[in-house]
Amino acid sequence: MHISTNPGIWCQAICTLAVLTYLYKDNPIWRTVESIYLGLATAYWFVYYFWSFIKPAVMDWVLVQHQWHYILAIIMGLLIFFRYVPSLSWIARYPMSYWVGYGAGYVLAYQPAVWLQQITDSFRALNTLANVLIFIGILCTLAYFFFTLAKENPVVGGIAEVGKWYIMVALGSAFGNTVLYRWNLFLGRANMLIGQWLGFNI
Amino acid sequence: MERLMKIDRRILYLVAVVVLVLVLFFPLGLPVKVSDLTQKTYNGIQNLPDGSLVIISPMYDAGSQGELMPMFVAMLYQCAERHYKIVIGNAQWAMGPQLCHPYVEKILKEQYGYQYGVDYIEFGSKPQFTVWANSALSDFPGACLTDYNNQPINQFPIIKSIPKISKEYVAATLVLDCGTPGARDWLAYVNQGTGIPLYVGEIQMSVPEMMPYVASGQYAGMIAGSRGAAEYESLIGHTGKALKSQDVMSVIALLVALYIVLGNIGYLTRKK
């Protein structure tokens, strides 16, 4: 065992242990570290985005490279801050509308091709057990979401029940994978505490 | 039996942590069998033409690096062994390139003698994935403008090999994904239209959601979670963090399954 003398590692270890105290119960130590993290993260990203994108856009692209069309984009971005002026908050709707419209248009242009291939792939030859199960699963799961059909009907109700079981299996799979993912993150922290901080060779 | 449902969760956490620490100190040496999916992914990347240029996009931040960094490192080793030209960067995940940079320097530069700007380049993180991707499809240097060190990207010889992102210049895109924008955005805005094969490294949590894309062939291959990363490491012959963690993950998975069984027994035997 060789405890680290690196202040960065000690900081990591103290913050990690402080956050893990929440597993026992809510306490001031965890709240303090949570607030420190939120403050640091906000400050970090503010500084990062300013120096990485805002400053180059204004100082380099416009003033040095004379790409004057960026002025329009900068003005549009600044108009959003009118949200903080109640009497003029309607001005902020213009850049927001442009932003939402551009985003929606862009998604509608490119996403359907992805979905269509998924739909095409669902039409499979029923020559293997897996393909038969996929076919049944798609139909029954879709039937579960047909809320306009009376589930009291034994045929419709039965098909929807099968669909419900497919959904439960899918959700169970998602849950299991999520649990393992969270434990893997904790394992990373455990490796840091035991390996880097306490200096054990694991 | 009903008491099984009322066990204090702190005891469950404590037992799990103790088990985890014990297995860390006393590994079981459980075998890691390579799945067909990981083998397919490995083969796909391995069999790219000699001298290919690949884009590796680490679309993640510090929260997901535990699972995705071993995959990134393994991909670097594989691409370096095959002497591919490598372009590394992303859009909207500012921390990804920063986290990856030390490994890029250590593996490509120091171990394999890659020359920056000639054999590989890092273009850092750009804002707004959809805008960057749309621009890069017609003018990659114009979309990036600067590299990871904020130098004009046009000065580097490797950029002449990739005037735009298209199948003519890019052999494959390797995307490490943990959210949005991620592999699905690469698929929609880049790979679906250009036909460039897309290989994905995915966090465990998103694997069930992404399997339809693998089944339909939209993802050419996928490294599924930490288990996939461990299998990948065993294929490239490099024992990394993922491979070392599999004993612990196996035992934890068994323990969680036991907890679920006990909870269900308690639920089913409760007095109604």
Q: pLDDT digits over A32-52, tens only? A: 999 999 999 999 989 988 887
> Are A183 and B218 in contact (CB < 8 Å)?
no
> Across residues B2-19, what is the average pLDDT?
85
List the beta bridge partners of residue B54.
Answer: B86, B172
> Across residues B122-141, what is the average pLDDT?
92
- pTM confidence score: 0.89
Would an 8 Å CB–CB cutoff place B94 in contact with chain A? yes
Question: Is pLDDT above 90 for B254?
Answer: yes
* Number of domains forming the structure of chain B: 1
The verdict on residue B7 lying in a domain is: no
> Are B130 and A103 in contact (CB < 8 Å)?
yes
Min Cα distance A98 → chain B (Å) is 14
In whole numbers, what is the pLDDT of chain A averaged over residues?
A: 90
The verdict on residue B204 lying in a domain is: yes
SS3 state of residue A127: coil
Q: Indicate the pLDDT class of residue B266, thresholds 50, 70 and 90.
A: confident
Partners of B245 on chain A (C-beta within 8 Å) are 184, 187, 191
Q: Indicate the pLDDT class of residue B84, thresholds 50, 70 and 90.
A: very high
pLDDT in tens, B35-52: 999 999 999 999 999 999
Q: Give the CATH number, domain containing residue B74.
A: 3.40.50
* Residues A17, A20: Cα–Cα separation, whole Å: 5
Question: Is pLDDT above 80 for B3?
Answer: no
User: How many percent of chain B have pLDDT more than 90?
Assistant: 80
Q: What does the pLDDT read at residue A201?
A: 83
Question: Is pLDDT above 90 for A63?
Answer: no
Question: Is pLDDT above 90 for A110?
Answer: no
Q: What does the pLDDT read at residue A91?
A: 95
Question: Is pLDDT above 90 for A174?
Answer: yes
Q: Which of residues 121-150 of B touch A (CB under 8 A)?
A: 125, 127, 130, 134
Would an 8 Å CB–CB cutoff place A180 in contact with chain B? yes
Question: Is pLDDT above 80 for B5?
Answer: no
> Are A180 and B253 in contact (CB < 8 Å)?
yes
Q: Which amino acid is at A44?
A: Y
> Across residues A149-173, what is the average pLDDT?
89
| Cβ within 8 Å of residue A107, ≥6 positions away | none
Question: Is pLDDT above 70 for A179?
Answer: yes
Taking residue B184's Cβ as centre, other Cβ atoms within 10 Å add up to 21
Would an 8 Å CB–CB cutoff place B229 in contact with chain A? no
Question: Is pLDDT above 80 for A202?
Answer: no
Q: Which residues of A64-74 are buried (b: 16+ CB within 10 A; e: fewer)?
A: eeeeeeeeeee
Domain of B159 in residue numbering reads as 51-252
Question: Is pLDDT above 70 for B272?
Answer: no
Partners of A176 on chain B (C-beta within 8 Å) are 256
Q: What does the pLDDT read at residue B238?
A: 86
Min Cα distance A140 → chain B (Å) is 17
Partners of A23 on chain B (C-beta within 8 Å) are 10, 13
| Cβ within 8 Å of residue B269, ≥6 positions away | B1, B2
The verdict on residue B267 lying in a domain is: no
Question: Is pLDDT above 90 for A60?
Answer: no
The verdict on residue B238 lying in a domain is: yes
The verdict on residue B17 lying in a domain is: no
Q: What does the pLDDT read at residue A74?
A: 87
Q: Indicate the pLDDT class of residue B56, thresholds 50, 70 and 90.
A: very high
Under the phi-then-psi rule, with left for phi > 0, alpha for psi from -120 to 50, and beta for the rest, what region is B128?
Answer: left
Min Cα distance A13 → chain B (Å) is 16
The verdict on residue B73 lying in a domain is: yes
> Across residues B253-271, what is the average pLDDT?
88
> Are A178 and B67 in contact (CB < 8 Å)?
no
Q: Indicate the pLDDT class of residue B85, thresholds 50, 70 and 90.
A: very high
The verdict on residue B22 lying in a domain is: no
Question: Is pLDDT above 80 for B256?
Answer: yes
pLDDT in tens, B147-176: 999 899 999 999 999 999 999 999 999 999
Contact B198, B218 (CB under 8 A): yes
Best B12, B13, B14, B24 residue to mutate vs chain A (most A CBs within 10 Å):
B24
Q: Indicate the pLDDT class of residue A85, thresholds 50, 70 and 90.
A: very high
Q: What does the pLDDT read at residue A48?
A: 86
In whole numbers, what is the pLDDT of chain B averaged over residues?
A: 93
